[in-house]
Structure formats: structure tokens, C-alpha cells
Amino acid sequence: MNENKGIEREPNSIIVFEHNYIDKSRKIVKLEDVIIRNIGEKLYWIDVWGKENLEALESLGIDKKAIESLTENIEFNVKMYPDDMFRFDLGHLCFEDWIQNWDFTVQNMHCLLGGRFLISYHERDSELSSELINHYVSDQSVTSKHAVFLIFEMFHHMIDSLLRVHNTMQNKLVLLDKSVVTRNDDLMIEASKMQNDFLIMREIDHYARNVLNHLSNRSSLFVSQNTLPAVDNMSMVLERLEDDLVADREICSNILNIYMTIVNFRMNLIIKKITSLNLIFSGVALLAAIYIALPKQTLSAVFFVIIMVICGLWISKKF
């Protein structure tokens, strides 16, 4: 079943999928057809694109504070709400022209999870949402036997995105390491940015792992006992990634320290050259002053003494 493959969606809209585990039917329905309080075999996934569409969710009878929380710019954490519902954030990362500007952009997808529904919300167009929508029916038909499938898919895409971003950042780290002996002063700025990028990624990874741990330790219609090992495996992947991010950030810090050491060494060489030039010009100025001040008959003796003193200082410095 691939009828939803390559679905065309209007910007700033709501799309609702109904999944029936009895007759194996999966279809797109209208928001007014959703009855999330009804105990039965139906699961609804509601994807909301745009802040202006959140008011329409109030017709579902969901706690208003929970809906309003979807727009809050908070950390990746878990908030408990009434009616057997909780909220968690999924951080979705993607790179944009990293070769030119070396930056990545964090895109958040906020979710409300209930016994019979999953609401996902994003302010702008989301690659994660598009991937899930375009593969929803075909993947559900083949592999899904439980509502937790959508949660797995979200975390799978997020983890895959994190790993791709991390791989790209590691390539960037190699380039920085090779450039450390160059005279590129922008290296220090880029290394400082990378340190901050690794810190942001580690924070996102840490909170995502907390969400997975929360899901694996809580009885829910979305997470059965049979699927807990899969949740634990995802958590282990994120744990290893967090360790790698810490190690990479330390490498980045070492690169920055090495670069600063090289800069200090070059600065010392420049200072030594300036000092040598200063001594030469000071000596010339002294000789000129003596030449002007002393009578001509005593100049030869004075210059002889000065030359002997300079030679003595040079010999003592060498030996």
C-alpha cells in the first residue's frame, strides 16, 4: 500500500491519519472525525504545521494547557499532564551548506502523546514530518502491529539525522586539525563555534535519551513489554553518541590549545626580531650621538673601545 507515497500537502495545514488495527485500514480523515476519548482499536496521528492551526485542536477535548505548551520554547524534557497524557520534544537536526558556512540548524518537533493519539507540531516545514507522512501507510502495512511504531519512526529519523550531522562535524574536525599549522586566523573562531555546536548536540542527545528512558519505564498503550528492548537499544545508541560528542569536543579543545601555542610561539619570534632591530637602531643612534659630541681626535679611541665592548658582549653570548 503506497497511496500516501509522495503526498502533496498544503503549507500551514493539519493532516490526520487514522489507523485501525482490526481491519488493517489506514486512511486520511478530517479533524472533526477524530474521537480520541473513544476506547477502541483506532489510533490517530495528527500532524500540525503552523501555530495558527493549534486552536483547532481544542475541539478534541485535550487539556488546553497541554496544547499551549506545544509553542513553548523549553528544553527537551518531559511534562506530565492529566488524562494519561505526556509531552516530549524531539530535536530534529539538519545541515545547511555546511561547507560554506559550517553551520547547522536545529528544528524542533513538539509532540503530545496519549493513549489513542499522537499530535506532532512544527512551526515550519519539517523534513521529519514529510518523511513520516510519505512512508506512513507502506511502513505501517508491513511492519506495524502497535501504536509505538510512530514513536520508533520519529526517534529513528532523529537518531539517523543526529548521526549524519555528527559524521559531518567529524569531517569538519579533521579539516580543522589539518589546518592548525596554517596562518589562518579564522581557525580559532571556527574551533570555538564547533565547541559550542558539540555542546548543543550533546544537550539534545541527552534529553532525547531521557525521553526514551521515560518511555521504557512507563506502562503505556504506546509502549508494550515486547517493544521495550527496542527502546533500550535506541537509548544505547544515543548514549554512545553522547560519549563520542564529549570526546570530539575535547579534541576540538585540544586543537584550539595547539593553535594558541603555535600563535604564541610565532609571537615570541616576532618580539625577538623586533628586539634585535631595536638594539641595532639604538646602537646606531648612540654612535651618531658620540660622533657629533666628541672631538675628532678622540673618535678613533672611542670607536675602538665601543667595538671591543660589542665584540666582548657577542663572544660572551655565544660562549
- Across the range 233-250, mean pLDDT stands at 90
**Cα 47 off chain centre by:** 24
Contact 70, 181 (CB under 8 A): no
- Residue 305 neighbours by CB under 8 Å, 6+ apart: none
Return the residue matching grid coordinates 532523529: 158
Contact 198, 170 (CB under 8 A): no
- Across the range 161-189, mean pLDDT stands at 80
Specify the pLDDT at position 244.
93
SS3 260: helix
Contact 117, 36 (CB under 8 A): yes
For the stretch 136-150, pLDDT in tens is 655 554 455 555 667
Choose which CATH entry (3.40.50.1000, 3.30.460.20, 3.30.70.1880, 3.90.1280.10) describes domain 14-263.
Answer: 3.30.460.20
| Most confident residue range from 228-232, 247-251, 266-270, 307-311 | 247-251
The CA distance from 244 to 27, in Å, is 41
Specify the pLDDT at position 141.
47
- Across the range 49-65, mean pLDDT stands at 82
Confidence of residue 264 (pLDDT cuts 50, 70, 90): confident
Backbone angles phi, psi at 18, to 5 degrees: -110, 125
Give the containing element (helix H, strand E) for 44. strand 42-49
Domain boundaries, the chain: 14-263
Residues in the chain, overall count: 319
